[in-house]
């Protein structure tokens, strides 16, 4: 169910693959979704229809994601790899990331292989990894999504997200570190 005060359950899951192609219009890219499900409970989220009826209530952390990612990157060999979008159907920095650390390990793997990436998030937990981004400013990009600055509306539409004030404070820290970003 979309709106609930109940905290979601987080569980470990093993994944067979992690790096996937996606296409939006004429744009083709690669994406990684370290989690299945999302704590943010955005009432308008399209991903709920693609995953499961428990999308908001059960968050699965793909705990072997970084290992699978390394295998997949090795299988590409010397081919040119497109920039990787992190989180097309979830938020890589939702609360489950504090428990599992999957996104951080995937980012470290992308950096090890010198793969450019961009992260979509509505979270402030991304601050935990600020140093990772500082050391990779030429090849990373962060996209924050803010639906409204009206906190009453935000609490209804996106009850699991941090306040916009906290998000703007987080963005400022990234700006101060010269990390490229966008706001949608």
- Condensed to tens digits (0 to 9), the pLDDT of residues 26-54 reads 888 899 999 987 676 665 666 655 656 67
pLDDT for residue 175 is more than 90: yes
CATH number for region 9-183: 3.20.20.70
- Condensed to tens digits (0 to 9), the pLDDT of residues 133-168 reads 999 999 999 999 998 999 998 888 887 889 999 999
DSSP letter for each residue of the chain? --S-SSPPEEEEE--S--EEEEEETTEEEEEE-SEES-TT--TT-SGGGTS-TTTTTEEEEETTHHHHHHHHHHHHTTSPPPPEEE-SSS-TTSTHHHHH-HHHHHHHHHHHTT--EEEEE--SGGGGGHHHHHTTGGGEEEEE----S-HHHHHHH-TTSPPHHHHHHHHHHHHHTT--EEE-
pLDDT for residue 78 is more than 80: no
| Domain boundaries of the chain, sorted by first residue | 9-183
């Amino acid at each position: 169910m979309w709106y609930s005060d109940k905290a979601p359950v987080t569980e470990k899951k093993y994944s067979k693959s992690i790096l996937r192609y996606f296409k939006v219009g004429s744009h083709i890219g690669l994406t990684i979704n370290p989690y299945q499900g999302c704590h943010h409970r955005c009432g308008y989220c399209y991903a709920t229809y693609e995953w499961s009826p428990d999308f908001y209530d059960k968050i699965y952390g793909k705990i072997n994601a970084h290992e699978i990612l390394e295998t997949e990157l090795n299988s590409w060999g010397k081919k040119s790899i497109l920039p990787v979008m992190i989180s097309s159907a979830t938020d890589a920095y939702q609360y489950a990331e504090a428990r599992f650390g999957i996104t951080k390990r995937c980012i470290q793997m992308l950096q090890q292989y010198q793969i450019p990436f961009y992260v979509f998030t509505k979270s402030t937990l991304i601050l935990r990894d600020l140093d990772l981004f500082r050391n990779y400013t030429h090849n990373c990009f962060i996209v924050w999504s803010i639906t409204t600055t009206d906190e009453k509306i935000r609490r209804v539409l996106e009850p699991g997200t941090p306040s916009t004030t906290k998000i703007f404070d987080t963005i400022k820290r990234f700006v101060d570190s010269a990390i490229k970003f966008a706001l949608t």
